[in-house]
Structure 1
Amino acid sequence: MVCSVIAKKNDRVFDFVRVKDVFVSIGLKTAVDFEGEISRLEGEARNQAGTGGLIVVSNIRNLVSLLTYSKSMVELDVDSRGFPKEETCSTSQQQRSSTSFPDEFRCPISLDLMIDPVIVASGHTYDRNSIARWINSGHHTCPKSGQRLIHMALIPNYALKSLVHQWCQDNNVSLLDDHSSSDSSSKTKTSSSSTAGAVDHISVTKSAAEAAKMTAEFLVGKLAMGSTEIQNQAAYELRLLAKTGMDNRRVIAEAGAIPFLTSLLRSSDARIQENAVTALLNLSIYDNNKVLITASGGAVDSIITVLETGKTMEARENAAAAIFSLSMIDGYKVSIGGRPRAIPALLGLLKEGTTAGKRDAASALFNLAVYNANKAGVVGGGAVPLLIEALMDDKAGITDDALAVLALLLGCGEGLEQMRKSRILVPLLVDLLRFGSAKGKENAITLLLGLCKDGGEEVARRLLMNPRSIPCLQSLSSDGSLKARRKADALLRLLNRCCSHSQHSVNMGN
């Protein structure tokens, strides 16, 4: 009888109710009974090791394994399927139980709706509480496949969680758990028992850094060998993992994610492309990863391609943000700006993007234009009229960003000339002296001063003709930031000289 039970256990079919009846019949009813029998069998195994041969010892070890497994089930008070019994159902749980929901939303352990789905090393998904209880009871195999888990990390399945929550919302099904609907004393009790037991096993037994490392390696493996859907999910999880913490960004790169994410930028699947470029953006925040990304074959060019023709606007905007992040390093300002498609692609997004996208594009253009050789490319691509147009459009929401880039382009002769020829720029800048942010006022006065000096007499005359200009400059000279006050004073002196010169010319003419 016991041998048949062992055979079934090895075949991953385990009828615990039948086994329990057998154990009760031979006096094994409590955990203490099991511990005593296990101790006796282990002693017998040691005695037989020298005389009984490998087969006898192996059979004893199988019995010990079975008893150890069964002891944990007794301690957990299992149900007829061999899985831990659930707590008494709350109203919301009863509601979920009485509602027919898709099988793919059902936890293989509890058969209930997965409120917090997580992925284990085998690739199967379970509800967090159920699989955590399984692991914390000493099991190191996947309940569904029987496969041994190479690590105990529980990786949130955000995609499935989103689908579950959407389904519940559409079907008026509550997602509240027992501990979220009970009083404070119940919460305390729950958190000290089931909730405490549901904490990721890895967080208890491993350091956070080791957990992140194993998670990253697991996800990179899925990037390398998974189906399209699995690759998308892995890229999404890496995107989220890389969003917080420099250590996470480091271990993801060390796990080899960057080349695989780079290859996914060329995917025809819009979701994969968006998740891959966003993951690379988040990874690039860590400076060492900037080096790895730019050194990865074709990564920068692929990011530029997404920026140009990405399948979603979010992918294009995050590609621009990645260019901005990478160009924080001076050497990469040169290499990125020298690519013929980079600046035109950023200018395209500056024209077509959302507010966030335009801001990302303007920030990236600013970084690239810091390097003098890139200024001509930015101006030649048509940046000046686009930036002035952004100043006119309150809905664009990038006034300060546009001003910063224009101020930088004063250092390009062609850019300066285009700004001086604009008939609408000066009135816009005067208005910004009145209503702009502190940073906006600084850049506005920087632009006005740059436009008026060194051959900008015509701009100075237009400025003097604006009735609001002098009061605005005087106000800024007294109430602005130190930088703004200094430049306002300089511009007032320049305008005074211009006015005196004009008056002198008039007198000479008379």
Structure 2
Amino acid sequence: MDLALPPLMVSAGFLPTGSLLESLIYISNDVTSIEKLPFVQVKNVSTMIRRIKLLSSLFDEIQETNSPLPPSSILCLTELFSVIRRVKFLTQVCKEGSSLWNLMQTEFVSNQFHVIAKEMGRALDILPLSLLDVTADTREQVELLHKQAKKVELFVDPKEVQRREELLGVMAANNERNSKKKGLIDFGKVREILSFIGLGNPVDYDEEISKLEKEADKQAGTGGLIVVSNINNLISLVSLSKPMIFSGGTNEKLKLRSASFRRNHDHSSSSQSTIFSIPDEFRCPISLDLMRDPVIVASGHTYDRNSIAQWINSGHHTCPKSGQRLIHMALIPNYALKSLTQQWCEENNIPVTESVLSSSSDMGRSSSKRKLCEKVIDHISATKTASDAVKMTAEFLVGKLATGSPVIQRQAAYELRLLAKTGMDNRRLIAEAGAIPFLVTLLCSPDPRIQENAVTALLNLSILENNKVLIMSARAIDNIINVLQSGKTMEARENAAAAIYSLSMIDDYKVIIGASPRAIPALVGLLVEGTTAGKRDAATALFNLAIYNMNKASVVTAGAVPLLIEQLMDDRAGITDDALALLALLLGSSEGLEEIRKSRVLVPLLIDLLRFGSPKGKENSITLLLGLCKDGGEEVARRLLMNPRSIPSLQSLAADGSLKACRKADALLRLLNRCCSQARNPVG
């Protein structure tokens, strides 16, 4: 009888037990020793710290016993190390990042905590607590934690949602056209909101501005134009609120006399003049005059719309203040500064042209009635002003794709890639601007970055259903397969695989893509050569194509089956669930069944996965075993019966598994029972 460790354990490359326990204790102490909790997400952070304290007691006790650990516990402890490390990172983001930005993303951050808590529960599913030498109290605490983690629900702090809504309302004050005090910002409310997230003095405001600036820099490479402009609006709000809030309730510091502005008072019989100095924050860097319609350019600097428009129209493509080359010419309204400028004008009786300071944007209108998406960006991009900006930007960038030098094309494709990453409206507007045919052409570019940006932009655009049709109509599939097969960077190849997955969501395109003699072999090749993410993209694309029965044979012929089994043997590959799902699907064809039956290592792997796999992995493992045992699979059935781990694992799943796993485990047990009966009572 083979009593060796399961293959998954041998190949996983885990740390030695002592080192793993020390690492767990160290990282747990790191998390639980946090003294000052963040003001945003305080409930989620404190709950997670409490859970890790309970686990920390378990780790300490295991180490103190100094007893050998059962091999089955190593997988669980490794999973818990990964979970706690993610808790540490997320807690640091909440504690050290911008509190204002975390408030704006409260649902998104809360969901991250929820996902981690569920993963903690899944890790504890495979903890062999009964085999560990721990006290009854510790065992009881861990069992309770396990039950709580299994039933954990998403928690979004309603107070944070309320404060975020109030903040959006403040920022949209300039657009409430029916208000008698249109344009006035309630700085008392601003102070109340910022105090809620821990900003209580000028130093706190300065630190928050610095954190927002760092966030804007970080998002510039991943979030695109709209998200950066939104962060800049927040920076403007905090920067310009600081002197208002900490000036003792007066604005005298903003009312220094000069010869910049004059106004005749209507209520006076004599022609009196009042003269004010414009605060530097309200001056346009070009004209040095009051910014009546402030806008943000690509560099992040703010100018008056008329001044910067004249600068750009005269042929300049750089930021006047920084000298930095502008990667696009879109002008994004600075809502916060516009509201503050209008308030300053009204307080100082300076006339303001209605059509100038009343933005045509509807940002913020009915914001309390609208459910915000993961990020505030989707909320803002839904407004007319943002849509107009995206449309103008897309048209400008498409022009650069068509006529620019390779350097310009590379930058334009990159900016379109970012713009298409956020929001369905963006994807629609980019397609309407005519970007798709030019991006398809650029897939053949000899420049690696142009190719990579073009295929990723097409991937992002393909998320919109109608864009799938446009991409296929542009005869993109051959070029995408070329990139998949021999792209100049691995990222380009992997994103080409993801694009094929996205396009194949439409049934007709499964047929078209599968009919290409190069598509499926190229995806199978990526199973060997790709990164973990690339292998997963390839496996999911192959799965999607194999839903169409005619493609199953092509996937098998391309050599996918032995490669998928090889991925199961290498736990570091990270695509166990995807590989199992694809194998289970291929089992439905005669070619797939024949090829899978050739493997001598698959059955022991599947038996191990019945115990250590994810819930989905267990379901697909049973599907494979059941399929292999049917229709002449007596040899597989005998191997299952001879393995001492198979029957207990199947009985456990039949009792406690998911509905699908329970049904299939029960069917497999009945089949094995019949095999036993036939072996005891042979016919004739």
Query: What's the TM-score bracket when you normalise by the shorter of the two chains?
Result: 0.5 to 0.7
Q: Which amino acid aligns with 1:459?
A: V
CA contact (8 A) 2:654 2:663 kept: yes
Gapped regions of structure 2 (runs ≥ 5)? 1-257, 265-276, 318-323, 329-335, 346-356, 364-383
Q: Select 2:480's aligned residue among 296, 303, 308.
A: 303
Whole-angstrom distance in 1 between the partners of 2:283 and 2:561: 73
Find the counterpart in structure 2 of residue 286 from structure 1: 464
Q: Select 2:303's aligned residue among 133, 138, 148.
A: 133
User: In the TM superposition, what is the alpha-carbon distance from 1:85 to its structure 2 partner?
Assistant: 11
Find the counterpart in structure 2 of residue 412 from structure 1: 589
Structure 1 residues 143 and 384: CA distance shift in structure 2, 3 A: same
Structure 1 residues 158 and 487: CA distance shift in structure 2, 3 A: farther
User: In the TM superposition, what is the alpha-carbon distance from 1:158 to its structure 2 partner?
Assistant: 9.7
Secondary structure of 1:133's match? Answer: strand
Whole-angstrom distance in 2 between the partners of 1:190 and 1:218: 26
Structure 1 residues 438 and 74: CA distance shift in structure 2, 3 A: closer
Q: Select 1:448's aligned residue among 625, 636, 648.
A: 625
Whole-angstrom distance in 1 between the partners of 2:434 and 2:283: 43
Gapped regions of structure 1 (runs ≥ 5)? 1-27, 35-70, 87-115, 120-126, 150-155, 161-187
Structure 1 residues 285 and 191: CA distance shift in structure 2, 3 A: same
User: In the TM superposition, what is the alpha-carbon distance from 1:405 to its structure 2 partner?
Assistant: 0.3
User: In the TM superposition, what is the alpha-carbon distance from 1:348 to its structure 2 partner?
Assistant: 0.6
Q: Select 1:338's aligned residue among 515, 520, 528.
A: 515
1:399 aligns with 2:571: no
Q: Which amino acid aligns with 1:445?
A: I
CA contact (8 A) 2:442 2:450 kept: yes
Q: Which amino acid aligns with 1:259?
A: P
Whole-angstrom distance in 1 between the partners of 2:655 and 2:425: 47
Find the counterpart in structure 2 of residue 372 from structure 1: 549
1:277 aligns with 2:455: yes
Find the counterpart in structure 2 of residue 321 from structure 1: 498
Find the counterpart in structure 1 of residue 413 from structure 2: 235
Q: Which amino acid aligns with 1:352?
A: E
Whole-angstrom distance in 1 between the partners of 2:395 and 2:477: 24
Secondary structure of 2:311's match? Answer: coil
Find the counterpart in structure 2 of residue 501 from structure 1: 678
Whole-angstrom distance in 2 between the partners of 1:76 and 1:192: 9
CA contact (8 A) 2:287 2:307 kept: no
1:474 aligns with 2:651: yes
Larger Rg: 1
Whole-angstrom distance in 1 between the partners of 2:310 and 2:338: 26
Find the counterpart in structure 2 of residue 177 from structure 1: none
1:10-409 to 2 correspondence within 5 Å? 29-32=259-262, 82-83=287-288, 118-119=297-298, 127-129=299-301, 132-135=302-305, 138-139=306-307, 141-143=309-311, 146-147=314-315, 192=340, 207-297=385-475, 299-409=476-586
1:425 aligns with 2:593: no
Find the counterpart in structure 1 of residue 139 from structure 2: none
Whole-angstrom distance in 2 between the partners of 1:360 and 1:418: 23
User: In the TM superposition, what is the alpha-carbon distance from 1:143 to its structure 2 partner?
Assistant: 2.5
Whole-angstrom distance in 2 between the partners of 1:339 and 1:202: 50
CA contact (8 A) 1:281 1:322 kept: yes
CA contact (8 A) 1:117 1:157 kept: no
Secondary structure of 2:505's match? Answer: coil
Q: Which amino acid aligns with 2:457?
A: A
User: In the TM superposition, what is the alpha-carbon distance from 1:446 to its structure 2 partner?
Assistant: 0.5
CA contact (8 A) 1:73 1:83 kept: no
Structure 1 residues 393 and 33: CA distance shift in structure 2, 3 A: same
Structure 1 residues 78 and 451: CA distance shift in structure 2, 3 A: closer
Deviation sequence 1:346-388 (CA, Å, 0-9, x none) = 0010111000000000000000000000000000000100000
CA contact (8 A) 1:274 1:312 kept: yes
CA contact (8 A) 2:610 2:649 kept: yes
Whole-angstrom distance in 1 between the partners of 2:281 and 2:645: 82
CA contact (8 A) 1:202 1:211 kept: no
Deviation sequence 1:193-224 (CA, Å, 0-9, x none) = 69x99x9x996895222222111111111111
Whole-angstrom distance in 2 between the partners of 1:313 and 1:239: 17
Q: Which amino acid aligns with 1:128?
A: G
Whole-angstrom distance in 1 between the partners of 2:284 and 2:387: 34
Structure 1 residues 73 and 477: CA distance shift in structure 2, 3 A: closer
User: In the TM superposition, what is the alpha-carbon distance from 1:417 to its structure 2 partner?
Assistant: 1.2
Secondary structure of 1:31's match? Answer: coil
Whole-angstrom distance in 1 between the partners of 2:280 and 2:653: 79
Q: Which amino acid aligns with 2:665?
A: A
Whole-angstrom distance in 2 between the partners of 1:486 and 1:75: 68
User: In the TM superposition, what is the alpha-carbon distance from 1:128 to its structure 2 partner?
Assistant: 2.4
CA contact (8 A) 2:278 2:290 kept: no
Structure 1 residues 158 and 454: CA distance shift in structure 2, 3 A: farther
TM-score (norm 1): 0.66
Q: Which amino acid aligns with 2:473?
A: A
Aligned pairs, number = 367
> Which stretch has the larger CA shift, 371-380 or 207-216?
207-216
CA contact (8 A) 1:429 1:448 kept: yes
Whole-angstrom distance in 2 between the partners of 1:228 and 1:273: 11
Q: Which amino acid aligns with 2:508?
A: G
Structure 1 residues 117 and 343: CA distance shift in structure 2, 3 A: farther
CA contact (8 A) 2:327 2:412 kept: no
Structure 1 residues 157 and 204: CA distance shift in structure 2, 3 A: farther
> Which stretch has the larger CA shift, 453-462 or 313-322?
453-462
Whole-angstrom distance in 2 between the partners of 1:237 and 1:140: 21
User: In the TM superposition, what is the alpha-carbon distance from 1:30 to its structure 2 partner?
Assistant: 4.0
Whole-angstrom distance in 2 between the partners of 1:421 and 1:478: 31
User: In the TM superposition, what is the alpha-carbon distance from 1:240 to its structure 2 partner?
Assistant: 0.6
Tell me the percent identity: 67
Find the counterpart in structure 1 of residue 133 from structure 2: none
Secondary structure of 1:411's match? Answer: coil
Whole-angstrom distance in 1 between the partners of 2:659 and 2:290: 69
User: In the TM superposition, what is the alpha-carbon distance from 1:419 to its structure 2 partner?
Assistant: 1.2
Structure 1 residues 158 and 420: CA distance shift in structure 2, 3 A: farther
Find the counterpart in structure 2 of residue 40 from structure 1: none
Deviation sequence 1:55-99 (CA, Å, 0-9, x none) = xxxxxxxxxxxxxxxx999996688x855699xxxxxxxxxxxxx
Whole-angstrom distance in 1 between the partners of 2:554 and 2:425: 37
CA contact (8 A) 1:320 1:360 kept: yes
Deviation sequence 1:289-324 (CA, Å, 0-9, x none) = 000101103x11000000000000000000000000
Whole-angstrom distance in 2 between the partners of 1:500 and 1:284: 55
CA contact (8 A) 2:494 2:530 kept: yes
Q: Which amino acid aligns with 2:525?
A: G
Cα RMSD between the aligned structures?
A: 3.6
Secondary structure of 1:431's match? Answer: helix
Whole-angstrom distance in 1 between the partners of 2:296 and 2:509: 41
Structure 1 residues 503 and 342: CA distance shift in structure 2, 3 A: same
Whole-angstrom distance in 2 between the partners of 1:411 and 1:441: 18
Q: Which amino acid aligns with 1:301?
A: D
Find the counterpart in structure 2 of residue 104 from structure 1: none
Secondary structure of 1:423's match? Answer: coil
Whole-angstrom distance in 2 between the partners of 1:287 and 1:375: 25
Structure 1 residues 296 and 431: CA distance shift in structure 2, 3 A: same
